[in-house]
């Protein structure tokens, strides 16, 4: 290290020969915070002022080059110097600046590299402009500089999808690509020395001119149309296309202004707030407070799954995908064979789509074995039961596991509604019992609700949270109550959808309103897909809690009693042509609703879309408030993660609790009170605002303020 080594905040500076080395060193991910921006300017100025320095290399001292702008700064404050100013200083520097892109460069991190005069990286690296996932667009020149180095289509793809891209596919962007990550900095220094020795020009991306020929024009028109269809409901993708187009239609300087204008338009939207909230929500879910510091996770090298049906099979696939052997238990060999054959079919389908090679299919199948004998579970580290949702059945299974599983094995239930503490009472080691609630299809859905029982040990919780990451799920820790977080909140949503049908709304009107709000499907289509008999079965087990409301899901009950179990029987809330999943409105269902409404003395009327939305979504939020107050969820953002990843709640609304914060809690509370008054006895019973909602609304606070 040279004598002149210095630190400018989180930026390190030293020289090696004629080259000044500027190292980004802001753990964990080199987010370009105000301190980093100031440090970069100061160190560049230091190098420019030193006559013995002839070139600059900008590199990272961390594995990542940079994760881009510091997202936590987006909520405000004095942000000067802004990132575009920093990049302007670098681009206009009078000495050549080489970026040594040692690791991933995302968002502002890639924009920083694009503002340098040359870029060196290694062939295993990936870079990207993921701003669109935060509801914004690259706002530090990324939309103007990237198309000047890559072609228009590549730039559009990267900016509109936000997907990380291998540097190998970005020939025009990088000037030199080495094989190994650890060679990158040395190669960049060599490159800088060569630029100086060979008197190569300072290559400023801003000097490149682009032309907007007919072919490019056509590309943008087609792209804009495609994006509108593919990203329905999202605001930022369309703006991304407009910003990239400006690189072709404007001068560099004007293009930057246009980018900045479009960036600010995005930044001001509720969607940007929602998506940025969600970015942190997802990460915060993995931080579980209250666990003892010394706690260590247990190792999970072999897993048992009880039940080889659709759920059990899906669960098993997660572990096989992560390279963990699984033994699946069924009572009958035939059911076991069927389950394993179904898994094979799933993998073969992925292979047909090119997502897996045939060798990978075989590797994964080799990790899966079957048994009809509980004794085969003696050596597993974790066992997950996915059997029939009935307490007596679950307790019997846990009793059997208690006898055969080794000490320290984690005994998990995939129950979606039942009392985990009661299940744990069936074993002599309740500290090893936890709920691992997968969502269907279990090999696809990202959510894992991790249910902590009264006696669950800290290391069992920690192991489960870590395991979620291993199998590429987002684990959220919740407490025990009927339906836990997700299904408990979906109950009032389904109840209101059904009641609205009695009051005169059609299933297709309700589904249209919910679809427009952004969920992938409305409650009636969802019910038909899941099977109406499933909801009926849950209601049967809870008749005592709903007996006071004679209107409770009566139409759904009637449909099931008539054998209309949904998609699988070709008839549910809708009709289905054989082999088709397209719901067809059925006047018979409307007639049943009318008949039931008359019987119950409910006057049918025209119902506005706004009422449908509020009556489905606000009671769900109200239930979330109770869940938060009771500590079933530790924080409102955990509920949001559960809803986005488990129920398809639109990420551009940030989840139900963030949506409520955005609407304003006093507004949500007022509307609940309105329905409480206007819907008679029904309203009085179901629309009472939760205590927490009242408290927060009175104090002008949000759910996110509850810590």
Show which residues are catalytic: 111, 131
Minimum distance of ligand 3H9 from residue 111's CB (angstroms): 6
Residue nearest to ligand 3H9 (CB): 107
Minimum distance of ligand 3H9 from residue 103's CB (angstroms): 9
Residue that has been written with the tokens 């002149």 in this structure:
4
Minimum distance of ligand 3H9 from residue 241's CB (angstroms): 16
Minimum distance of ligand 3H9 from residue 139's CB (angstroms): 4
- The residue among 140 and 592 lying less far from ligand 3H9, judged by its C-beta, is 140
Rounded CA-CA distance 562/577 in Å is 18
- The residue among 70 and 614 lying less far from ligand 3H9, judged by its C-beta, is 70
The binding site for ligand 3H9 (CB under 6 A) comprises: 28-29, 31, 64, 67-72, 83, 106-108, 111, 130-131, 134, 138-140, 142, 280, 283
Distance set, CA 193 to CA 14, 18, 427, 590 (Å): 16, 8, 70, 78
Rounded CA-CA distance 160/138 in Å is 10
Angle, vertex CA 447, rays to CA 383 and CA 525, nearest 5: 115
Residue that has been written with the tokens 């309740």 in this structure:
430
Minimum distance of ligand 3H9 from residue 131's CB (angstroms): 5
Minimum distance of ligand 3H9 from residue 206's CB (angstroms): 17
CB 120 within 8 A of CB 113: no
- The residue among 136 and 336 lying less far from ligand 3H9, judged by its C-beta, is 136
- The residue among 76 and 587 lying less far from ligand 3H9, judged by its C-beta, is 76
Going across the sheet that includes 165-166, the strands are 105-106, 126-128, 165-166
CB 691 within 8 A of CB 669: no
Tokens, residue 15: 């020289």
- The residue among 111 and 596 lying less far from ligand 3H9, judged by its C-beta, is 111
Prior bond of 81 cis (ω within 30°) = yes
Minimum distance of ligand 3H9 from residue 59's CB (angstroms): 17
Backbone φ and ψ for 490, nearest 5 degrees, come out as -75, -20
Rounded CA-CA distance 395/389 in Å is 11
Going across the sheet that includes 118-122, the strands are 6-8, 11-16, 19-24, 55-60, 97-101, 118-122, 176-178
- The residue among 115 and 602 lying less far from ligand 3H9, judged by its C-beta, is 115
DSSP assignment of 243-290 equals: HHHHHHHS-HHHHHHHHHHHHHHHHTSHHHHHHHHHHHHHHHTT--TT
Q: Closest by alpha carbon to 621, among 634, 636, 611?
A: 636
- The residue among 236 and 556 lying less far from ligand 3H9, judged by its C-beta, is 236
């Amino acid at each position: 290290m040279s004598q002149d080594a210095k630190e400018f905040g989180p930026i390190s500076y030293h020289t090696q020969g004629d080259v000044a080395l500027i190292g980004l060193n802001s753990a964990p991910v080199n987010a370009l915070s105000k301190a980093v921006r100031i440090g970069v300017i100061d160190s560049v100025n230091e190098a420019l002022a030193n006559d013995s320095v002839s070139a600059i290399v900008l590199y990272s001292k961390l594995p990542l080059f940079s994760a881009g702008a510091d997202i936590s700064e987006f909520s405000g404050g004095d942000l000067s110097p802004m990132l575009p100013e920093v990049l302007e200083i670098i681009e206009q520097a009078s000495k050549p600046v080489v970026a040594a892109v040692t690791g991933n460069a995302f968002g502002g991190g890639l924009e920083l590299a694009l503002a340098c005069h040359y870029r060196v990286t290694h062939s295993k690296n990936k870079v990207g402009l993921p701003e669109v996932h935060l509801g914004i667009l690259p706002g530090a020149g990324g939309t103007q500089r990237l198309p000047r180095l890559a072609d228009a289509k590549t730039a559009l793809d990267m900016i509109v999808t936000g997907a990380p891209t291998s540097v190998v596919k970005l020939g025009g962007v990088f000037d030199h690509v080495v094989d190994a990550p650890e060679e990158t900095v040395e190669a960049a220094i060599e490159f800088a020395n060569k630029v100086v020795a060979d008197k190569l020009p300072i290559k400023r991306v801003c000097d490149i001119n682009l032309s907007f020929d007919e072919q490019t024009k056509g590309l943008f028109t087609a792209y804009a149309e495609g994006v509108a269809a593919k990203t329905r409901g999202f605001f930022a993708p369309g703006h991304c296309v407009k910003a990239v187009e400006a690189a072709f239609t404007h001068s560099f300087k004007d293009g930057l202004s246009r980018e900045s204008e479009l960036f600010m338009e995005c930044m001001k939207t509720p969607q940007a707030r929602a998506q940025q909230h969600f970015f942190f929500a997802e990460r915060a879910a993995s931080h579980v407070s209250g666990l003892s510091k010394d706690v260590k996770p247990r190792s999970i090298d072999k897993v048992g799954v009880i039940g080889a049906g659709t759920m059990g099979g899906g669960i098993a696939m997660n572990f096989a995908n992560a390279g963990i052997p699984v033994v699946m238990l069924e009572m009958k060999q035939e059911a076991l064979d069927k389950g394993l054959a179904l898994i094979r079919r799933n993998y073969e389908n992925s292979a047909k789509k090119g997502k897996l090679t045939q060798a990978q299919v075989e590797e994964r199948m080799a990790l899966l074995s079957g048994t009809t004998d509980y004794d085969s579970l003696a050596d597993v580290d974790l066992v997950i039961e996915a059997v029939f949702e009935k307490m007596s059945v679950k307790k019997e299974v846990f009793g059997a596991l208690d006898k055969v599983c080794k000490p320290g094995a984690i005994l998990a239930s995939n129950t979606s509604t039942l009392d985990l503490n009661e299940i744990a009472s069936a074993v002599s080691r309740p500290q090893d019992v936890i709920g691992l609630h997968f969502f269907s299809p279990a090999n696809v859905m990202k959510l894992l609700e991790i249910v902590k029982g009264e006696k669950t040990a800290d290391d069992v919780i920690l192991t489960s949270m870590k395991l979620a990451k291993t199998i590429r799920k987002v684990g959220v820790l919740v407490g025990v109550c009927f339906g836990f977080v997700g299904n408990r909140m979906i109950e009032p949503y389904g109840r209101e959808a059904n009641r609205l049908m009695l009051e005169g709304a059609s299933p297709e009107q309700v589904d249209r309103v919910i679809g427009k709000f952004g969920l992938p499907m409305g409650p009636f289509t969802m019910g038909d897909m899941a099977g109406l008999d499933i909801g009926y079965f849950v209601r049967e087990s809870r008749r005592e809690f709903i007996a006071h409301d004679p209107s409770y899901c009566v139409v759904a009950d009637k449909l099931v009693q008539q054998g209309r179990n949904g998609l699988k029987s070709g008839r549910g809330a809708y009709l289905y042509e054989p082999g088709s999943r397209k719901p067809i409105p059925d006047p018979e269902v409307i007639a049943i609703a009318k008949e039931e409404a008359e019987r119950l003395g409910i006057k049918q009327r025209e119902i506005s879309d706004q009422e449908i939305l509020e009556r489905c979504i606000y009671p769900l939020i109200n239930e979330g408030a109770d869940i938060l107050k009771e500590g079933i969820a530790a924080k409102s953002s955990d509920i949001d993660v559960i809803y986005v990843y488990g129920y398809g709640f639109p990420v551009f609304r940030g989840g139900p609790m963030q949506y409520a914060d955005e609407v304003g809690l006093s507004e949500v509370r007022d509307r609940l009170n309105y329905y409480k008054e206007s819907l008679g006895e029904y309203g009085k019973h179901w629309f009472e605002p939760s205590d927490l909602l009242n408290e927060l609304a009175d104090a002008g606070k949000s759910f996110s303020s509850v810590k």
